[in-house]
Structure 1
Amino acid sequence: MNRYDYIIIGGGIVGLSTGHKLLEKNPNLKILIIEKENDVSKHQTGNNSGVIHSGIYYKPGSLKALNCRRGYRYLIEFCDKNNIPYEICGKIIVATEEKELPKLQDIYERGIQNGLTGLKILRSEEIKDYEPYCTGIKAINVPQAGIVDFKLVSDKIAVQIQNKGSYIHFREKVTEIKEKTDYAEVITNKEVYQAKAVISCAGLESDRIAKMTHRNLNIRIVPFRGEYYKIKEERKHLIKNLIYPVPDPQFPFLGVHFTRRIEGIYEAGPNAVFAFAREGYKKSDINIKDLYESMMWTGFFKIAFKYWKIGLGEFYRSYSKSAFVRALQRLVPEIKKDDLEKGGAGVRAQACDNKGNLADDFLIVKGKRVIHICNAPSPAATSSFSIGETIAGEIFNR
C-alpha cells in the first residue's frame, strides 16, 4: 500500500499550485500528484491565452473576484522570484455600440469594488492613445492586465514540488475514490494509494471524479472549444497589447478579442463553441461517450434553449472565417481575412447544473476526506496560487 499525506488529482496549474501551497505550509509533507497525461498542464492551462487577469469582471465578493486579486499578487511574486518572464502590459475593454455603455460602466464599478487602481474611462478619441487602430465609442483602460506563459509557471512549480521530495505520477488515471473514516483511498489503473485527504483538480474530468464520492452531484462539465487565429507578422502593428469587447451579459464568455503572447505571437479569439469531445481541440474530434453524456444531461437542452441564438452565431463563426473577422472588425476595422492564419484551440471545462445554468463562479465541493474543485475556468490560472492557499487552509484547519 502506497501512503501519502495528501493526494492531488490533476497536474494542471490549479493542482500544482495546491501542492505548492501545501508544501509551503509544511515542507515535510509527502504529496502525490496523479496526472493522466505525460506532462503537466496539457489541457486548459497549456492552451489558454496566457493573460494575467486583473479581476475587473467578477462580482465583488465572489470566489473569482477574491481569488483572482489575491492570486494575481502571488503569481507576480512567484514569477519575480523564479525569473519567469511576464509583462504587465494593460488592456482596454471597448464599447462599440451605445447599448454596451451600461455594461461597460458596470464593469468599471466592479473593478473599483474589487480593489483595482488606475482604471480610466477613455473617450472615443482617447482610445487611439492606447490602441491606434482600435475604434470604439468608449473604453476602460485596465493597467493591471498582463501576459505570461502559464506552462512555464507550471513547469517551475512541478520541479519545486519534486525537489521537496514529493511526487508526480504521469500516465496514471484515477478509477475510484473511497472515503474511509481516517483516510481516503485512491485507486488508479496502476496502483492503490492512501492519504489523509484527496484534492481533485481534474479540470475537464472534474465532474466524473467528483461523482466517485458524490453520487448525486447535480452538475456536468460541458466542454466549449475556443479557437484562435494568429495575426500574420506583417500585420502585428495593428495591435499593441490586449483589446477586449464588452462581454455579452447573457453569455458567460468574454467574446473574441485580441491578445499578445509573451513569446511574441499575436492572436485573435477565442470563440466559444460546444465541443463534441472533452478534449476536442479540432472540429473533427468526436468522443461518443463525452457527446452522449452531454446530450443526455437534463441541463444540456435547457442550455441549448436558453443560448440557441448565441450558440448558432458561435458555430457560424467557427466554420466561417469571414464571420469571425467581422466580429474582430468591430474593434479593429482594418483587420482583414488575409491577415489571419489558423492558430490553436483550447477547451474550457464549464460546469452546468441540471436546470441549465452555467456556473458563473468557481465551485468547490467538500466531502469528509475529499475536496473537489468542480468549476475552475478563467481566471483560474491567474487565481491558482490563491485557490491552492484556500484549499491548503481548509485541509490544515480540519
Structure 2
Amino acid sequence: MKNIVVGSGIIGLSIANELRHRDPSAEILVIEKEQDVGKHASGRNSGVLHAGFYYSADSLKARFCRDGNKKWHSFIEENELSINRCGKLVVAQNEKELEGINTLHERGQKNDVEIYLIDEKEAMDLEPNVKTFEKALWSPNTSSVSPSECNMKLREQLEKSGVEFRFDCRVVGYEGNAIKTTNGSFSADHVYNCAGLYADKVAHLFGAGREYTLLPFKGVYRKCIGDNPVNRHIYPVPNLANPFLGVHFTQTVKGESKIGPTAIPAFWREHYDGLSGFDLMEFAQVSLCELDLLIRNSFGFRSLALQEIVKYRASALERDAGNMLNKFTNKTKAMPAGIRAQLLNVKTRELIMDFVVERQPGVTHVLNAISPAWTCAFPFAEHVVSMDDN
C-alpha cells in the first residue's frame, strides 16, 4: 500500500504516524511545499494543549480533544520534551458572563473533562492577580508545549521508521492516481490532503469541497516584558457563536506570559506581516469575499472585523487582557503572527465550526483543521485513517 500525505503540519505528520503504526511495511511519502515541517499554523500556534470543554458534545472537536490532550502528555513524557503544566482559568467580567461560565462547565462535564466551577476566592488562591465576577472555571489539564520541538520529534521518528519526505513540492494537479507537483509526479494508492491553508485549493483540484473556501484570520500575540503578570493561562468567556476564544493570557513552555491572539481578517493566505507571502490572485479573491461578508454582515462579520482591526494597536490588546487582572502594567512586544485556516461555506456564508473530512475513492481531504486541531491531532488522525477501512 502506497500512501501520499500532502502537507507536513501537525495533521499531516499525525496521519503519517498513524499509517506507519498500522502498517510498518507501507510506503508513505509526505510532500510539502515548504523546506521543512510545520512552517505555518503548526509551527506558529500558541502551543496550548486544550482540555476539551469549549466544544458541544456532538462535535468532532469534543470527541478528540480530551483524548488528544492525554496522548500529547504521554508523548511529551516518553520523549522528554518541554512542557508547562500551568492549567487554565476562565474568568467572567460581569453577571451576564456567568451564563457562559455555566455553559462551558456543563459542556466539560458532558465531554468527561476534568473541570471545576470555583468561586472568586478559589480563583485568587490559584492566581492572586486574577479578577473574576463571582465564579470562574479551573482546568488543571491545560498545558503548554513547544510546537516546533514536537514537530521535529515527529519528523525524526517518522524518518527513522522509513517515511519519506519531499520538500519544495507544491501540488499543481492530479491525473489518474498520480499527483503532479512542482518537483515531479508521484503515484499512490491513497492520498491524504492535509494542506492546511491550501487544503481547499488542493481539494478543488480533485473536484471536492467546492462549497468551501478558506477565509484567513491573522492571530497576533504580544509578549509581556518584565515580571510575569500571571503564571497560568487566563481566558475570558468566549462568544460561543464564533470559533474564536478572545484575547487571553497564555503561558509559554518557558514560563513567559503573552497576550492575544487577534482574529483580524487577513487579505491573503500567508499574510503574516507587511507584504510577506503576497499573492495578487489570492488578494483579489479574499478581498472580494470579505467585502461581500462585510456588506451582508454574515455571522456578524462587520462587527467582528471592526473589533479586531483596532487590536493592531498594542494598547487595545493590553486593555482587553488587563480587564481580567487586578493589575496589569507590563509593556509588550509583538511576536510572529499566525494565520488561522478558517473554512467558510460559500453558499450559506457561514463559518464552519467543526473539523471537516471529505472522502473520494483513493483520496481523503481534511478541510477545516482549526483549533484545537493541534491538541486533537493523534486521535483525529486515527479517525481519518479509520474512515478508509470502511
Which residue does 1:255 correspond to in 2? Answer: 246
Residue 216 of structure 1 deviates from its aligned partner by 6.1
Could you tell me which residue of structure 1 aligns to residue 258 of structure 2?
267
Match of 2:342 among 326, 350, 354: 350
Distance 1:23 1:46, change over 3 A: same
Provide the secondary structure at the position in 1 that maps to 2:153. Answer: helix
Helix, strand or coil for the counterpart of 2:379?
helix
Is 1:287 the equivalent of 2:279?
Answer: yes
> Aligned equivalents of 1:235 and 1:386: distance in 2?
37
* Counterpart Cα distance in 2 of 1:224 and 1:75: 26
2:190 maps to 1:197: yes
**How many Å separate the matches in 1 of 2:267 and 2:212?**
18
Secondary structure in structure 2 of the residue aligned to 1:381: helix
| Range 296-305 or range 222-231, more displaced | 296-305
Structure 1: state its 5+ residue gaps. none
Any conservation in 2 of the 1:12–1:43 contact (CA below 8 Å)?
yes
Distance in 1 of aligned mates of 2:145 and 2:311: 27
**Rounded Cα–Cα distance in structure 1 between residues aligned with 2:138 and 2:162:** 44
**Corresponding residue of 2:205:** 212
Q: Retained in 1: the 8 A contact 2:168–2:183?
A: no
SS of the equivalent of 2:335 reads strand
Kindly provide the CA deviation profile for residues 118-150 of structure 1, in whole angstroms up to 9, marking residues without a partner as x. Answer: x22122222211111111112100111111112
CA shift for structure 1 position 315: 0.2
**Cα distance in 2 for residues equivalent to 1:145 and 1:365:** 30
Aligned twin of 2:300: 306
Distance (whole Å) between structure 1 residues aligned to residue 209 and residue 235 of structure 2 = 39
Q: State the shift of 1:229 in Å.
A: 0.6
Looking at structure 2, the residues matched to 97 and 251 of structure 1 have their Cα atoms a distance apart, in angstroms, of 20
* Residue identity matched to 1:344: P
Q: Which residue of 1 aligns with 2:110?
A: 113
Give me the whole-angstrom Cα distance separating, in 2, the residues matched to 1:216 and 1:352: 11
Aligned to 2:158: 161
Secondary structure of the residue that 1:351 maps to in structure 2? strand
- Which amino acid in structure 2 is aligned with residue 147 of structure 1? S
Distance in 1 of aligned mates of 2:220 and 2:169: 29
Verify: 1:330 aligned to 2:326, yes or no. Answer: no
Amino acid across the alignment from 2:240? P
Q: Note if 1:385 corresponds to 2:382.
A: no
1:74 deviates by 1.9
CA contact (8 A) 1:235 1:339 kept: no
Contact 1:303 / 1:356 at 8 angstroms: preserved in 2? no
1:228 aligns with 2:224: no
Match of 1:158, as an amino acid?
Answer: R
RMSD of aligned alpha carbons: 1.7
Percent same amino acid among aligned pairs?
Answer: 32
* Residue from 24, 37, 56 that aligns with 1:27: 24
Q: Deviations over 1:88-137 (max 9, x none)?
A: 321000111111111110000000000112x2212222221111111111
Q: 1:26 to 1:216 in 2, by over 3 A?
A: closer
Distance across 1 between alignment mates of 2:132 and 2:152? 39
- How many residues align? The count is 385
Q: Distance in 2 between matches of 1:287 and 1:188?
A: 19
Q: Is the 8 A contact 2:208 2:358 kept in 1?
A: no
Query: Where in structure 2 are there 5+ consecutive unaligned residues?
Result: none
Structure-2 separation of matches of 1:82 and 1:27: 21
Contact 1:35 1:173 in 2 (8 A): yes
Instruction: For 1:28, give the aligned amino acid.
Output: S
Which digits, 9 at most, give the CA deviation of each residue in 1:271-328, with x for residues without a partner? Answer: 100111211111554432222122344974445572211210100112x222221111
Residue from 125, 135, 152 that aligns with 2:131: 135
Distance (Å, rounded) in 2 between the aligned partners of 1:122 and 1:96: 15
Report matched runs for 1:172-187 at 5 Å: 172-178=169-175, 180=176, 184-187=177-180
SS in 1 for 2:137: strand
CA contact (8 A) 1:294 1:300 kept: no
The Cα of 1:220 is off from its aligned counterpart by 0.6
Q: Return the match for 1:125 from 111, 114, 121.
A: 121
- Code of the aligned partner of 2:107: R
CA distance in structure 2 between the partners assigned to 1:64 and 1:172 by the alignment: 30
Task: Give the TM-score of the pair, scaled to structure 1.
Answer: 0.93
Aligned-partner residue type, residue 306 of structure 2:
L
